[in-house]
Structure 1
Amino acid sequence: MTNKERIEFLYKEDGIRNASFLDTLLHDDFILEWDSSEGKLLLQKSAIINLANELKQNYIDSFMEISHFIEQENQIVVKYNHKVTTIENPKEFFLIAKVVAIWEFEEDKIKKGYQISKPS
């Protein structure tokens, strides 16, 4: 699987809520610098896997509406809208965040990420 295919699976096949996929995708020394509504966060691999489990528990379905996908050398940039369905309303997707992420690969795994998100 190429780096592009890995990122496509992450977003298009709901890999963002798949803890076992994330465990294979993320480097053991992975770090995410995330500028969120809560301020700047630094998250390691274990925190991302915990977040994936939380997303899976809290939402019935998750969908990434990708508007930009750019690959250059060992980096991939993705801009997307994150939409979910809830237990209360499983038939309607609603926007929870607008996100831009930059992923850096090393040895076929994501070693570092930079993300900016804005809640909807």
Structure 2
Amino acid sequence: MPSKEKQLVHDFYTSGFHKDTSILKEYLHKDVTIYWNSSSGFSKLDYEDFARMSSDIGKSYEGLSCEITHLLQEDNKVTIRFTYNANTIENPEEDIALAHFMCIWEVKDGKLYEGYLISQPGDDSEENISSFIPKK
């Protein structure tokens, strides 16, 4: 059974917050800070910045799904590895790997408080896809 912190992180990424940013208040601490290293550089986001960006993403894609491959916890910190797959408005039938992410979240007061996020553009290389297949 997952801990409440791991469940919080899992539920956040599968919540559809990009289509309804009012959901963010259920998951993000009011004083949240996200430190994001992406292929376009470094960004530091607060609650309002993240809500604005999430809304923009929701408008850009027909559908967005989160494929979680790892969810690990140590004390009040949860690490997640996932890929966002998207359907574009122009081609709603085709899923594309939008981006790959890893994030370490600190949970405070039952909400996501501080996140350290790394992302890179998605790809469908065979080695990358096979990294999502659970090893036996």
Q: How does the TM-score come out when normalised to structure 2?
A: 0.81
SS in 2 for 1:60: strand
Shift of 1:14: 2.5
Q: Which structure is larger by alpha-carbon Rg, 1 or 2?
A: 2
Q: What corresponds to 1:55 in structure 2? A: 57
Q: Deviations over 1:48-98 (max 9, x none)?
A: 111111111111111111111112221110111111001111111101111
Alignment of 1:22-33 (within 5 A): 22-33=24-35
Quick check: 1:10–1:16 contact (8 Å CA) kept in 2? no
User: In structure 2, which of residues 2, 8, 16 is the aligned counterpart of residue 6 of structure 1?
Assistant: 8
Q: What corresponds to 1:75 in structure 2? A: 77
Q: Distance in 1 between matches of 2:18 and 2:9?
A: 10
- Amino-acid identity (%): 28
Shift of 1:20: 1.3
Q: Distance in 2 between matches of 1:80 and 1:71?
A: 15
Shift of 1:16: 4.8
Q: Deviations over 1:4-54 (max 9, x none)?
A: 222112223333543112123111211100001121110101011111111
Structure 2, gaps ≥5 residues long: 123-136
Q: Distance in 2 between matches of 1:104 and 1:18?
A: 23
Q: Distance in 2 between matches of 1:108 and 1:98?
A: 26
Q: How many residues align?
A: 120
Structure 1, gaps ≥5 residues long: none
* Larger fraction in strand: 1
Q: What corresponds to 2:17 in structure 1? A: 15
Q: How does the TM-score come out when normalised to structure 1?
A: 0.91
